[in-house]
Structure 1
Amino acid sequence: MSDPEAPEGRAANRVGVTIRAQVRAGTNKMTIDVTDLSRTGFQIETVHRLAPDSKVYLVIPGLSGLEATVKWNRKDLYGCAFVAPLHEAIFDSLVKLSDTR
């Protein structure tokens, strides 16, 4: 489902954030920085390598792991799509969390 306010070609509006979190890929847990967030996905920056199309879980303190798929990467940036879109209240909470850091 598309967000009617999202730019053309995007499923949902993206917001620049700074959230320190972890990504779990298989049995590996990596500390990462979430730099961009929408209800349908996120961008992370990490020196760790993630395979395109691999399943990952975004782990933010206070939330269950959020299942996603790696869609692309450019150097140390990775774009991931959530398997299920974030509820609007969760999205808003995460954006506010970022604003307080």
Structure 2
Amino acid sequence: MENAETRPETRVAPRSVVVIRAQVRMMGTDKLDIDVTDLSRTGFQIETIHRIQPGATIWLKIPGLAGLEATVKWSRRHFYGCAFVRPLHEAVFDHVVALATPSRD
């Protein structure tokens, strides 16, 4: 199984550190509470106590947005790296990051 320690870095878009309480859903399951910990136009990282299989198709539900389809690419303990099926529109990405970026106080 590929994980964060063994996979090569394959990012195609810059990422932003965020803190977003959200949910994911897989086909035939209930919604799972997760935290989005970084976000780019092409993917995101989540943290959750729930087990999600790499290769799974999930729908990310960020408050205020429609569900976003993604594929789980890797896992490492409670962290999962995911790729959006369709990249986020730049304006949507900018809006989410502006609302969710941790303050630097």
TM-score (norm 1): 0.87
4+ aligned runs moved over 4 Å, structure 1: none
Please list every run of 5 or more consecutive structure 1 residues that lacks an aligned counterpart in the other structure. Answer: 1-7
Instruction: Give SS of 1:21's match.
Output: strand
Structure 1 residue identity aligned to 2:68: L
Tell me, yes or no, if structure 1 residue 74 matches structure 2 residue 76. Answer: yes
TM-score (norm 2): 0.84
CA distance in 2, matches of 1:100, 1:66: 22
Tell me, yes or no, if structure 1 residue 21 matches structure 2 residue 19. Answer: no
Instruction: Give SS of 2:23's match.
Output: strand
Please list every run of 5 or more consecutive structure 2 residues that lacks an aligned counterpart in the other structure. Answer: 1-8
Deviations 1:12-68 (A, max 9, x none): 001110000001112221010000000000000001000110000000111110000
Instruction: Give SS of 1:49's match.
Output: coil
Structure scoring higher RCO (CA < 8 A, sep ≥ 6) equals: 2
1:99 offset after TM fit, Å? 3.0
- Alignment CA distance shift 1:46-1:21 (3 Å): same
Tell me, yes or no, if structure 1 residue 93 matches structure 2 residue 83. Answer: no
1:100 offset after TM fit, Å? 6.9
CA distance in 2, matches of 1:17, 1:84: 20
2:54 corresponding residue in structure 1: 52
CA distance in 1, matches of 2:17, 2:30: 26
Q: Give the alignment's Cα RMSD to 1 decimal.
A: 1.5
